[in-house]
Structure 1
Amino acid sequence: MERPRILVVGGGFAGLECARRLERKLAATEAQITLVAPFSYQLYLPLLPHVAAGVLTPQSVAISLRRTLHRTDIMPGGAIGVDPRAKVCIVRKITDEVVAEPYDYLVLAPGSVTRTFDIPGLVDHARGMKTLAEATYVRDHVIAQLDLASATLDQAERESRLQFVVVGGGYAGTETAACLQRLTTAALDRYPRLDPRLIKWHLIDIAPRLMPELGEHLGTRAMKVLRDRGVDVSLGVSVAEVSEQSVTLTDGRVLPCRTLIWTAGVAASPLIGTMDAETVRGRIAVTPEMRVPQFEGVFALGDAAAVPDLAKGDGAVCPPTAQHSARQGRRVADNVIAALRNQPLEPYYHKDLGLVVDLGGKDAVSKPVGVEMTGVPAQLVARGYHLMAMRTNVAKFRVGCNWLINATAGDDFVRTGFLARQPARLRDFEYTGAYLTKEQIREHTRALHVGH
């Protein structure tokens, strides 16, 4: 008898945790497990600002799927469409070959993409911080601005190259601004021609408070740390227009600037739009057990799913965080196994473990299990949490060594040039135009049935 086919889409926190647990709890004879992922690593997303700042190497936060999974088939590609009625997922391999992959159980964990708005010039000139390639590009780009500013005799050009804008006052934006501001400050010793007063970092957010999830006290403390370093934090303000050499804000200010880093939230993967499924603010609606109620054998979780937050109640859904995604992955694996064995499914319920925000160096704010911490103790908690959350000892060792090397030897501020002169728009890094229409999905499904 052919084994049931479990197809897991996405190799992030949710997908990897699900596949790992399926491996541990299912006998090899019970099911065939396949993971669809465009890269052979799980990206440890919370530490991307450290990659952009050169504190960590890119390989440090790329956790090997093949070191973590042992009997899961890994398909190198991305899911670009789903036909849940025919139980088929359309996958574009990294060779661009498109295949129709049948399944008995489907776990959708495709994650999210950077959320953008209809702001003139935004999609053409903004840089993201959602992928490893984007973080690597941002580092090269920031160092290039220092190089070019140091080489030019044009004062206006110099000023525009030395102003940097980060949009988004959540964890990603705050940590990105904090880490990159430290990078440019530390680099000044290598650029004797640059006036330190010309280097200016701006952190912009439309919300009235920075990182409101931390609470008023810690959010205010984080803002004070940034402002003491010279970062201009502007709240209640957004971007009105972006051009190659300037950023116009909604309060009327026009900043001469050639670097806009956009971290203002995420949207569910466009894969969700290929299905006729109910959504909640763009995320696929699921039950507390993370089933997609319209379709048999389909589960969804992580950033792409509106998972009810039973701990909060009142119709709240879980925020798109790594902590939730990893826990949901384990619960979905248990529920897939329960479905296989005709056992009852369990709802997802979580206990909040707290939050950590690494501002670089000795600066951090943390709130583990409700205890507010700042400074070095908060930094130890933040980095200890990240090491604990990584799934391989090799990754933990690499990250720990990188932190130690950077703390003792500093940075050489070198541009790699890997992405020089390549398109660097959000859609170029996040492949948002790769998904199929419903008619194209039906064509691939028909082709699969004809082939059989």
Structure 2
Amino acid sequence: MGTETGMAKHVLIVGGGYVGMYTALRLHKKMRRELKRGELKITVVDPQSYMTYQPFLPEAAAGNLEPRHVVVPLRRVLPRATILNGRVTRIEHANRQAWVEIVGGASAEGVGGGQADRSPETRILSYDILVFCPGSISRTLPIPGLAECGIGFKTVGEAIYLRNHVLAQLDIAASTANPQTRKRALTFVFVGGGFAGVEALAELEDLARDACEYYTNIEPSDMRWVLVEASDHILPEVGADMGRWTVDALRQRGIAVKLETLLKSAEGHHIVLSDGEEFDAGTLVWTAGVKPNPVAKRTDLPVDEKSRVKATAELTVEGVSDAFTAGDTAAVPDLTKPGEFTAPNAQHAVRQAKTLGDNVVASLRGRQLQPYKHAYAGSVASLGLHKGVAQIYGIKMRGLLAWFMHRTYHLSRVPTFNRKARVTADWTLAFFFKREVVSLGAIQRPREEFELAARKD
């Protein structure tokens, strides 16, 4: 366990998501001289070495985008920052100290997964200014079987896994002689009618429908796709009318949309719904909301009843000096709706990041901070290739035009020119070539074949 101190002004950024990465980028751009002279030090702490642009995860899962193109490598775009791959486990802001558990630092973890008998490596970092933006985690419920059978949809790893898993289910269905096994493999359940659930289901259903072309014994009508939503509507961000249109559009594709319905049990991949229906499903995806990262409760920062860090309109931590916060883990006042807070979504994270980054620079230079006030432009959602729904500045769109607006908006928001170019190249190639529909599920278990061979010897 070590302690680090330094003469330079030290900015500690907890979280390498859009808010954290963009804050560091603004510091790189606007305080270049201070960084070169060693008068400013930036440390970014995140378990991953990259930032994920989550709105593109559904397209990565569907094979429209290369998964590596929806992430931004932190060390590449932040050459003057120190990147620590670890998890902050505790913060004492009163003492300007943070405890970081290094990922994989327990122990020389070998190829076989064995670990030495050592506790995880922990480092104590001293800092001058804190930027607290660790993001959110999936909000789960104590539903029997959910932890064992379900998977979320927040990371590149989950998106790649789901793509391989869905295609593997088609392989199982095409190969088995057992009708029950086939029916189970061809049943896909998504819980949660927000952006993540609807877009993931629509894109993967589109992928599976295209893949059926290569299976002589599977038709698209053989598959069953189910969307389960607890409320009486989906996609509230695009408006009630467009939400209802989306329900109708999904149902026209043969997707069962169950509103005002809850998942009661998923033990052994046997799905039990609150409307009384029961069936087996080989795939269960949980996208029913997010909650603030629990590390917020292990700090001395003020939190509200939802475990969000209390923020001011200037994105500083309420009542605390030298601390900033934004994103999914922060309760940021919505100045356009007095008394309310901004929603934990990508649109706000993208916009808050710029304001927060500029305010950190202003704080370091003794200038006035600016409040975060957004002008609501609207929302867009993809429903598969060439299909979408949108409401922009009150104008409602659907179909091809909405899909085009979805791509245009998110292309403009994905960070760095490098990633914009690579995403554009992926989309351009997709116009001329069919997407790949091969499952590489074996990459999830790379040592399986070797272990079987070793046991036989």
Same fold (TM over 0.5): yes
**Deviation sequence 1:335-392 (CA, Å, 0-9, x none):** 2233333333322111112211011111111222332211222121111111111222
Alignment correspondent of 2:68: 59
Alignment correspondent of 1:36: 45
Q: Secondary structure at the match of 1:267?
A: strand
Alignment correspondent of 1:125: 149
Q: Which moved more, 1:320-329 or 1:297-306?
A: 320-329
Alignment correspondent of 1:426: none
**Deviation sequence 1:49-92 (CA, Å, 0-9, x none):** 11111221211101222343242222222322212122111122
Q: Secondary structure at the match of 1:331?
A: helix
Quote the Cα distance in structure 2 between the aligned partners of 1:291 and 1:257: 46
Quote the Cα distance in structure 1 between the aligned partners of 2:317 and 2:9: 19
Matched, 1:161 2:185: yes
Quote the offset at 1:293 in angstroms: 2.7
Which of these residues, 211, 228, 242, is aligned with residue 187 of structure 1? 211
Which of these residues, 438, 452, 456, is aligned with residue 414 of structure 1? 438
Quote the offset at 1:421 in angstroms: 8.4
Quote the Cα distance in structure 2 between the aligned partners of 1:359 and 1:244: 30
Aligned positions of 1:174-213 closer than 5 A: 174-213=198-237
Give the % identical residues. Answer: 37
TM-score by length of 1: 0.89
Quote the Cα distance in structure 2 between the aligned partners of 1:114 and 1:286: 22
The aligned amino acid for 2:321 is: E
RMSD: 1.8
The aligned amino acid for 1:24 is: K
Quote the Cα distance in structure 1 between the aligned partners of 2:93 and 2:194: 35
Alignment correspondent of 1:7: 12
**RCO higher in structure (CA 8 A, sep ≥6):** 1
Quote the offset at 1:240 in angstroms: 0.3
User: Gaps spanning 5+ residues in structure 2: where?
Assistant: 1-5, 106-120, 448-457
Aligned positions of 1:48-197 closer than 5 A: 48-96=57-105, 97-197=121-221
User: Gaps spanning 5+ residues in structure 1: where?
Assistant: 423-452
Aligned positions of 1:230-379 closer than 5 A: 230-276=254-300, 277-313=302-338, 315-379=339-403
CA, structure 1 residues 165+421, in 2 after alignment: closer, same or farther (shift >3 Å)?
A: farther
Give the count of matched residue pairs.
Answer: 421
Paired residues of 1:207 and 1:235 also in contact (CA < 8 A) = yes
The aligned amino acid for 1:291 is: T
The aligned amino acid for 2:68 is: Q
Quote the Cα distance in structure 1 between the aligned partners of 2:66 and 2:365: 44
Alignment correspondent of 2:108: none
Paired residues of 2:10 and 2:41 also in contact (CA < 8 A) = yes
TM-score by length of 2: 0.88
Quote the Cα distance in structure 2 between the aligned partners of 1:184 and 1:89: 46
Q: Which moved more, 1:48-57 or 1:289-298?
A: 289-298
Paired residues of 2:188 and 2:282 also in contact (CA < 8 A) = yes
CA, structure 1 residues 357+267, in 2 after alignment: closer, same or farther (shift >3 Å)?
A: same
Quote the offset at 1:294 in angstroms: 4.6
Quote the Cα distance in structure 1 between the aligned partners of 2:429 and 2:103: 35
Q: Secondary structure at the match of 2:340?
A: coil
Paired residues of 1:244 and 1:258 also in contact (CA < 8 A) = no
Paired residues of 1:208 and 1:236 also in contact (CA < 8 A) = yes
Paired residues of 2:382 and 2:406 also in contact (CA < 8 A) = yes
Quote the offset at 1:398 in angstroms: 1.7
